[in-house]
Structure 1
């Protein structure tokens, strides 16, 4: 698909969590194509370094986002490598591993919360001084429509993703006086390589076709198109909102 060109993104520094694979990798590629200077963080070191090598002007740091000290250090390193403050943050990293109710341990629960929502708050905290210095910015927290559909078998994940929308609205109120926009981008069932490998089969294809109003696969590019708009100055008066990209399902 073709995308709009957003002049306000050119030469701006953009931080993306979970940017080495899946939706995150597409985000990195699409922002780089806009001329943005993209820094991204992921635990998948090999994939991250390979992607950064293909995109001049981008920078990658391998880190475990659930370790807040590592997260803060990675952001500081990327800021230094890219030569300045971040204008946009995309909190994309997540793990939607299925987990039967009976098998969830306190340790698993805490880990799921850490990767799916805790890092979003602390990444935002780390870049807010950048955005204040720049006179504004955009934070995009990634949610999920899974909790809206009352999906079972992944309670820690859906709880985290429901919480993202509360986090967004709270941060939007706190940061609005500094011209910092905060929104939630809510993807539907996106056909990433991981989804196609693990969970998409003939039965689930029928489910998707029955529930989506738009009868075509939802792809990472569809999510990235909205992310570009929300990061660009074109969305200057959009904040505290949920933007759903699901083909008309939820």
Structure 2
């Protein structure tokens, strides 16, 4: 199915590489105009050139609210509207809780959680004016269950669920939908060539970036018109419980 997003305009953070870039490509393939937000200027401009005339790049550090307002303004000035916001920018820092530095905690919370709040706050008026807005917050399996050694990341992704539900209630009267996507372990360029045990995953494999992007496209489209405040999980069954290993 193609052209589900014709005449819609999307702003995506953390979009120059990896999973975010795959979101850009699939949203554009479905007919959306896209604005690529990232701090990786060269990669972002190259991706915009790859997509063509219906794509723009904007430098976007999600920790800076002024950069968010500038990104929304560029989107509206260029394409006349904003219908879709994908909060994808994120980082992880690994350490046991008694070794997790305050600096790393603040960095992770600022990017993963506060950055998403800034995005929603900056885009809210434009999405309300759209009358058919969709906000998609990219969370993680770590927003559904605890993992040792990633305290800040766990907290930020659980917090994103609460932010999503609150925003869904506030923006629902304006027909703006807000949902989270919870990927499991996904095969990205950073993980190419690396092997991870998957016996604990029901499907016994890693996910592909295209599989998560298809879910984002669905939530961005009118096919998901009655879904808001919800969690969409794409983790191969990892969060379902411990998979049985057959012999």
Same fold (TM over 0.5): yes
Q: How does 1:1-250 map to 2 (within 5 A)?
A: 4-7=1-4, 9-56=5-52, 57-81=54-78, 83-196=79-192, 200-201=194-195, 204=196, 206=197, 208=198, 210-250=199-239
- By how many angstroms is 1:147 displaced? 4.5
- Structure 2 length as normaliser, TM-score? 0.91
Alpha-carbon spacing, 1:168–1:147, altered in 2? closer, same or farther (3 Å): closer
Q: Deviations over 1:133-182 (max 9, x none)?
A: 12231111111102434211111111000111101110111111111111
Q: Is the 8 A contact 2:139 2:181 kept in 1?
A: yes
- By how many angstroms is 1:20 displaced? 0.5
Give aligned pairs, total: 238
Provide the rounded CA distance (Å) in 2 between the counterparts of 1:10 and 1:161.
31
Higher percent of residues as helix? 1
- Structure 1 length as normaliser, TM-score? 0.90
Provide the rounded CA distance (Å) in 1 between the counterparts of 2:216 and 2:163.
18
Unaligned runs of 5+ in 1: none
Q: Is the 8 A contact 1:190 1:220 kept in 2?
A: yes
Unaligned runs of 5+ in 2: 240-247
For residue 211 of structure 1, give the secondary structure of its aligned residue in structure 2. coil
Alpha-carbon spacing, 1:106–1:227, altered in 2? closer, same or farther (3 Å): same
- By how many angstroms is 1:98 displaced? 2.0
Q: Is the 8 A contact 2:26 2:213 kept in 1?
A: yes
Q: Deviations over 1:59-101 (max 9, x none)?
A: 11122211222222222223322x2121111111101232343
